[in-house]
Amino acid sequence: MTQISDSLARRNVYVLVAAQAILGAQMPMIFIVAGLAGKQLAPNACLATLPISLMVIGSMLSANPISAIMARWGRRTGFVLGTAGGAAGAAVSAYGLSQSSFLLFVLGAFLTGIYQSSQGFFRFAAADTASEAFRPKAISWVMAGGLLSAIVGPKLAEYSMHAMAITFLGTYLTVVALNVVGVFLFALLDIPKPVQRTGAVGGRSRIELLRSPRILVAVIVGTVSYALMNLVMTSSPLAVVGCGFPDTVAPQIVSAHVLAMFIPSFFTGNIINRFGVERVMATGLVILACAGLVAMAGIKIENFYGALILLGLGWNFGFIGATTMLTGAHTVEERGRMQGMNDFLVFGGVTLASFSSGGLMNCSGGSPQAGWMAVNLAMLPFLVLAGGALIWLWLRPKDLEVTQ
pLDDT score for 403:
40
Q: Is residue 402 part of a domain?
A: no
306-327: b (≥16 Cβ within 10 Å) or e: bbbbbbbbbbbbbbbbbbbbbb
Q: To 10 degrees, what angle do helices 249-262 and 301-327 make?
A: 30
Q: Is residue 199 part of a domain?
A: no
Q: Is residue 42 part of a domain?
A: yes
Q: Is residue 196 part of a domain?
A: no
Count up the domains in the chain and report the number.
1
Structural domain containing residue 219? 2-189+204-395
Neighbour count for residue 103 (Cβ, 10 Å): 10
Q: Is residue 403 part of a domain?
A: no
pLDDT score for 197:
52
Q: Is residue 360 part of a domain?
A: yes
CA distance 215 to 224: 14
Cα 358–364–367 angle (5° rounding)? 100
Q: Is residue 363 part of a domain?
A: yes
CATH, residue 388: 1.20.1250.20
Nearest CA to 237 out of 316, 147, 158, 310 is that of: 158
Residue 134: φ, ψ to 5°: -85, -15
Check: pTM over 0.75? Answer yes or no.
no
CA distance 323 to 212: 15
Q: Is residue 173 part of a domain?
A: yes
pLDDT score for 224:
96
CA distance 383 to 362: 23
Mean pLDDT by 10 residues, the chain (404 residues): 65 90 89 85 81 87 88 90 94 95 95 91 85 83 80 86 90 94 85 61 79 92 93 87 84 85 84 92 97 94 95 94 87 79 84 80 80 92 95 78 41
